[in-house]
Amino acid sequence: MSYDLSIQLKNRFSELSHLKDALHKYCEFRELPSNLVFAITLSLDEVITNVISYGYDDHEEHLIIVTLRSGKGVIEISVEDDGKPFNPLEFETPDLKCPIDERPIGGLGIYLVKTYMNELEYKRVGGKNRLMMRKIY
């Protein structure tokens, strides 16, 4: 698997447009199918939004590092941040049969990431969260 793209983002919502631009250029260059581009974009948007929204107790600048590697029908996406420990794999799956007005807020985005990606792996290493997502195509 080859190293393809690494992006450093600040923990600001304005950085999401930078991420999406770089991601779409990467996907276009790699000639990835549109359904894969959608899955990657949605998953990264959700993960990065969660890091920015809930990962930090201060208002200081922090870096979030997104790395993409691809080859032979698989793409690996790594998201690393120095925020509070948070393992999205432990987050409870929402009850989709429950009426919307009775559902607790939160959890749907993580559920979508779990649905669109084939594999997820979380580690806390050296004071950093590291989420690895794999998508087979």
- How many distinct structural domains can be found in the chain? 1
pLDDT at 58 over 80: yes
CB 135, CB 118: distance < 8 Å: yes
Q: Which domain holds residue 8?
A: 2-136
Query: For the chain, what is the largest distance between any 2 Cα atoms, rounded to a whole number of angstroms?
Result: 46
Dihedral of the alpha carbons of 24, 88, 81, 60, in degrees to the nearest 10: 110
Confidence of residue 33 (pLDDT cuts 50, 70, 90): very high
DSSP β-bridge partners for residue 70: 2, 75
- How far is residue 47's CA from residue 29's CA, in Å, rounded to a whole number? 23
What type of residue sits at position 13?
F
- Per-residue model confidence as pLDDT tens digits over 66-110: 999 998 899 999 999 999 999 998 877 656 566 666 655 655 678
CB 87, CB 131: distance < 8 Å: no
Percent of the chain with pLDDT over 90: 76
Q: 45: helix, coil or strand?
A: helix
DSSP β-bridge partners for residue 77: 68, 133
pLDDT at 35 over 70: yes
Sheet holding 63-71, edge to edge: 2-10, 63-71, 74-81, 128-136, 119-125
> Residue 39 is part of a domain; what is its CATH number?
3.30.565.10
Confidence of residue 50 (pLDDT cuts 50, 70, 90): very high
Mean pLDDT on 23-37: 93
Mean pLDDT, the chain, rounded, equals: 90
User: How many other CB atoms sit within 10 Å of the CB of residue 125?
Assistant: 8
- What is this structure's pTM? 0.88
